[in-house]
Structure 1
Amino acid sequence: MYMTQGLHRSMQQRPQQVAIRYEGKETTYAQLGDRVARLAGALRQLGVQDGDRVAMFSMNSARYIEYYMAVPWAGAVLNPVNIRWSAAEILYSFEDSATSVLIVDDHFKNVAATVAADCKHIRHVIYAGDGETPPGMLSYEALIADAAPIADRFRHGDDLAGIFYTGGTTGFPKGVMLSHSGLLSSASNAIMFGLTGRDARVVMVMPLFHLAMFSSVNIQMMVGGSFIAVPSFDPAALLQTISDTRATEMLLAPTMFQMLLDWLDHNPERAASLDLTSLTHLRYGASPMSLPLLQRARAAFPRAGFAQGYGMTEMSPMVTVLGPEHHNEESLASGRMGSVGVPVFTVEIRIVDSQGREVPRGTVGEIAARGPGVMLGYWNNPKATAEAIRDGWMHTGDGGYMDEDGFLFLKDRIKDMIISGGENVYSAEVENALASHPDVAQNAVIGVPHKKWGEAVHAVIVPKPGTQPTLESVQAHCRTRIAGYKIPRSVELRESLPTSSVGKVLKTELRKSHLR
């Protein structure tokens, strides 16, 4: 398996199929293949050798998708940059990975220039914007125009395909090394589960640096579908794009779904002018979605089949899928809709205790997974690699249990579990109870220090407009849904929750104000 395999297939089988739609311009697979081969040629002319790292620091665009194919075509290694990082975090990742070439767009050209000047490894900065090329940078379009297309280097199998940095909120990020075969085997699961097809028109609105979106690129390259690149998330603009392009698929984080649904509720006249009936596949991931929010989404998009993917960067990224056949009233009644589904075809899962021993079905433990998608390791960090991968099993750090039929239920990140008076409290369970409170728009639950109990359950709530939920109302609501020791002992109201670029709530930020 090799990263450009799907592109070669689509160039051969569907050369005139539209591969990318971006800002009113369409690129066919034949045109995409030519631009990728030329960009790869330009990179080799700049001195990029097999295994060299090439970074992309950009909003979503057609050029980002070209980057994802051109770098492996040139035999090099991908290093997409988290657009929410500070300059110090970006510089660290470049120094750590010895990145030699940086591609940057208009949004980040100033930060990129500063970081590149401070990084001893960066040899070239390529400007992939639409304005005048800044001093000291090379023009992306000029490089493609002047370079001759080259043959694919065909790095494959266990060759390093990309370094995907994770974390950065509790220390410097770790570089996850992923192989060609790991990434392609992971992407193939979406096809085997029937979650897409060759006539797909996929809106790509989550940040493309995120592995879930790169996986979507790989999936569509394999089937020959079309990408609709959207620079950033804006509910009104996104819905208009769906209506205009007759998009069929989309992947969103739960927080994005909430903002989309809130916009539809608050703008009924504009919503009525949109045609969203083309949507047939809606996927959600990056963090758990509460059942009340999922029910709202299903009601808003009744023609679409919903699917959830659970995964992590270290698994390339897919681990489980809960498909459309389990998003129905029967699965709601049985509780299955509250699971993250079953292992994908290329992944094996087991639930283990602190000693790595498998626990009985229904018992909460740590989720461990193995398969071809397991990372090669953490870049320059053998200690962390040895802690995470044991006997071929990736220890995820997520707590959960498996039922008798093999459905996986997430409980919490192991590090986010609250231990109050000796009892384990899983924050996700409390958050799900709070989500159905009539005055709660969003919420997050953390443990805060308590003299008597060690930790106490603390709820951080974003109220719905015009409401003011109290501790008493929150406790009364939860008391009918969860055990007494799980009920929040304190409540904090906020205008918003701190989130990552893909919508994950940053609980480390919420805890800071409660540290002793």
Structure 2
Amino acid sequence: MDLTQGLHRAVQQQPDAIMTICGPRQRTFREVADRVARLAGALRGLGVGSGDRVGILALNSDRYSEYLLAVPWADAVLNPVNIRWSAAEIAYSLADCDTRTLFVDDAFAPMLPALRADVPGVTTVIHVGDGPTPDGALDYESLIAGAAPVADAHRGGDKLAGVFYTGGTTGFPKGVMLSHANLATSWLGSAATGCLPTADSRSLHCAPMFHLAALAVWGSTLLMGGSHVFVPSFKTVPVFEAIAAHGVTDVLVVPTMIQLMVDDPAIGDHDLTSLHAVLYGASPIPAAVLERAMKVLPDVTFTQAYGLTETAPIVTVLTPADHRRGLLRSAGRSAPHNELRIVDPLGAPVPAGTVGEIVVRGDHVMHGYWDKPAETAAAIRDGWFHTGDAGYLDEQGYLYVVDRIKDMIVSGGENVYSAEVENAIARHPSVAQCAVIGVPDADWGERVHAVVVPQAGASLTLAEVREHVKTLIAGYKAPRSLELVEALPISGAGKVLKRELRKEHWGAAVRQVH
């Protein structure tokens, strides 16, 4: 299979059905296919060759979707750039995999001078915005209008589809090499659960499309022949408006987005009756937030997917039926395309209920990290990809993710998993968001430290948090120190950047890298 297969199938079966909606623009599958063929022709005319990396630094749009199709159509390789990164981080990812052609929209055009200075290898810039074309850039629509369509290269199978950079939550980002077969395996295997978009779906893309979870929803919707609605980025009211205006049925969000949606009083001002399914993932969700979301949206099904960039991305799925059964702390069971184990530090499987490292195997696992053979060999051992996540399986095969292994806190000789403590703290009515980290302690080695964003107008003390937590979990896991903040540092994928929280506590100490 290849990334363009869903488009060809839709053109054959429903050419005049709506494929994309972005603001006032609506295009059919037939129209999109013609534009993609012309854009691919333009890329070839600009010198893009087989296997060349082509980047995009842009907010969500129908043009982003066309980029995802035109690059493989032209026999090239995707490099979607993390929009939350600094210019220096973006420059690193472009230079690391020798990206020479870059799509940029209006939001990121001001970065071009710095990027050109830092990455002289980027020789071609294509402007995909609606504003004035920056100096030295080519206009996207003019390229399409002036190019002849070319035949699809049908770059597929084990050929490289894209280089997708990790979020860098625990260190410098690495370029994950995923093939067309990696992505198709994950999308089809996940669709087989019945929890991803179908042919009747109208999927809203509000999570950033550089992220593999968003790409999975885009890809599965395309494969099934559904349609796509794009908003530039996540903001609650525009999301509500898009759902109401376009009859959106499916949406992917991360836990922080769910919380913002259900806590926004404006949610009651919009007709959201078309919405049938919410897919969430990318980071753990406090059970209290999920319970509140299920009450606010009682007619909507909820599905959780756990995965990583290196697994293209889906590993496990917690189905709507599992949610109704109250399994809200679980990340679900292995998807059909994935094999899952929990192992000890030597790589041996451990019994059900025992915490160990989550390892996975299957045709969705990456080919490796770009130009990093040592890191690849460390991550994939004896055919198993080692996730770096700690978890356990129950007797029915449900996975419970308890922490990043490097985030585990060792306090007084006891292992404390931050996710468990965060779930307990989040149930306090005065807590809006929280993160738990280990900080240095002369007596305990490390102590459990809570960083909390209070609800608007609320106040909290350490004593209140400790007493609340001890009603839910063992007392030694309760935080021994508390920090109140206005906001938590969040990565482009919606994950809390715990390394940023640790900096002021650990300084140059070794633990800082965890």
Q: If the TM-score is normalised by the length of the shorter chain, which range does it land in? A: over 0.9
Letter in 2 for 1:275: D
In structure 1, distance between residues paired with 2:172 and 2:468: 40
User: Which deviations, in whole Å up to 9, do the C-alpha atoms of 1:334-374 show, x marking residues without a partner?
Assistant: xx221010001100000001111111111000000010110
The counterpart of 1:500, out of the listed 491, 495, 509, is: 491
In structure 2, distance between residues paired with 1:92 and 1:318: 27
The counterpart of 1:509, out of the listed 500, 506, 512, is: 500
Letter in 1 for 2:65: I
Matched, 1:228 2:229: yes
Letter in 2 for 1:252: V
**Equivalent runs, 1:181-192 vs 2, <5 Å:** 181-192=181-192
Deviation at residue 171 of structure 1 after TM alignment: 4.4
User: Which deviations, in whole Å up to 9, do the C-alpha atoms of 1:11-35 show, x marking residues without a partner?
Assistant: 1111111111001211110011111
**Equivalent runs, 1:241-260 vs 2, <5 Å:** 241-260=242-261
Which residue in 2 is equivalent to 1:297?
293
Matched, 1:399 2:400: no
**Equivalent runs, 1:224-373 vs 2, <5 Å:** 224-264=225-265, 267=266, 271-328=267-324, 331-332=325-326, 336-373=327-364
Which residue in 1 is equivalent to 2:11?
11
Deviation at residue 169 of structure 1 after TM alignment: 5.0
User: Which deviations, in whole Å up to 9, do the C-alpha atoms of 1:303-330 show, x marking residues without a partner?
Assistant: 11110000000000000000111111xx
In structure 1, distance between residues paired with 2:362 and 2:190: 16
Which residue in 1 is equivalent to 2:77?
77
Matched, 1:129 2:129: yes
Which residue in 2 is equivalent to 1:468?
459
In structure 2, distance between residues paired with 1:413 and 1:118: 33
Matched, 1:211 2:207: no
In structure 2, distance between residues paired with 1:169 and 1:300: 31
Query: TM-score, normalising length from structure 2?
Result: 0.97
**Equivalent runs, 1:151-190 vs 2, <5 Å:** 151-168=151-168, 171-190=171-190
In structure 2, distance between residues paired with 1:27 and 1:113: 33
Which residue in 2 is equivalent to 1:56?
56
Deviation at residue 145 of structure 1 after TM alignment: 0.5
Deviation at residue 170 of structure 1 after TM alignment: 5.1
Deviation at residue 120 of structure 1 after TM alignment: 3.0
In structure 1, distance between residues paired with 2:285 and 2:162: 29
User: Which deviations, in whole Å up to 9, do the C-alpha atoms of 1:44-64 show, x marking residues without a partner?
Assistant: 011111100000000111100
Deviation at residue 460 of structure 1 after TM alignment: 0.6
Letter in 1 for 2:284: P
Distance 1:443 1:272, change over 3 A: closer
| Corresponding residue SS for 1:432 | helix
**Equivalent runs, 1:359-438 vs 2, <5 Å:** 359-438=350-429
Gap regions ≥5 residues in structure 1: none
Identity within the alignment, %: 54
Distance 1:183 1:459, change over 3 A: same
| Corresponding residue SS for 1:111 | helix
Contact kept? 2:190, 2:336, Cα under 8 Å: no
Q: CA RMSD in A?
A: 1.1
In structure 1, distance between residues paired with 2:336 and 2:313: 13
User: Which deviations, in whole Å up to 9, do the C-alpha atoms of 1:437-487 show, x marking residues without a partner?
Assistant: 111111100000011111000001111122111111111111111111101
User: Which deviations, in whole Å up to 9, do the C-alpha atoms of 1:465-512 show, x marking residues without a partner?
Assistant: 221111111111111111111010011111111111232111111111
Gap regions ≥5 residues in structure 2: 508-514
In structure 2, distance between residues paired with 1:131 and 1:477: 52
Which residue in 2 is equivalent to 1:109?
109
Contact kept? 1:116, 1:125, Cα under 8 Å: no
Contact kept? 1:282, 1:304, Cα under 8 Å: yes
The counterpart of 1:486, out of the listed 457, 465, 477, is: 477
In structure 1, distance between residues paired with 2:17 and 2:190: 21
Deviation at residue 237 of structure 1 after TM alignment: 1.4
Contact kept? 2:177, 2:368, Cα under 8 Å: yes
| Corresponding residue SS for 1:445 | strand
In structure 2, distance between residues paired with 1:112 and 1:123: 12
| Corresponding residue SS for 1:468 | coil
Query: TM-score, normalising length from structure 1?
Result: 0.96
